[in-house]
Amino acid sequence: MADLLHPDETNQEEGPETPFDPGDFVVALAAEDQMEAQLLVSACEEAGIPALVQSPRSGPVGTIASPVDGFNILVPRRELERARVLLTERKQALEADPDGAARAAEEEEAEGESSVQPESNSR
pLDDT band with cut points at 50, 70 and 90 for residue 107: confident
Averaged pLDDT of the chain: 77
pLDDT band with cut points at 50, 70 and 90 for residue 106: confident
- 58-67, 88-97, 98-107: segment of lowest average pLDDT: 58-67
**What is the largest distance, in Å, between two alpha-carbon atoms of the chain?**
66
79 vs 77: CA distance, rounded Å: 5
Pick 117 or 94 by higher pLDDT: 94
State mean pLDDT over 6-31.
70
pLDDT tens digit string along 30-73?
Answer: 998 888 999 999 999 999 999 999 886 655 655 555 555 689 99
Fold of 25-98: Alpha-Beta Plaits (3.30.70)
- List, as own/partner pairs, every contact residues 48-51 make where C-beta atoms lie below 8 angstroms and the sequence separation is at least 24, other chains included: 49/75, 49/76, 49/79, 49/82, 49/83, 49/86, 50/22, 50/75, 50/76, 50/79, 51/75, 51/83
Cα three-residue angle 57-54-38, rounded to 5 degrees: 120
Look up residue 117 and give its DSSP letter.
S
- pTM of this prediction exceeds 0.75: no
Instruction: Give residue limits of the domains in the chain.
Output: 25-98
Do 40 and 29 meet the contact criterion of CB atoms below 8 Å apart? yes
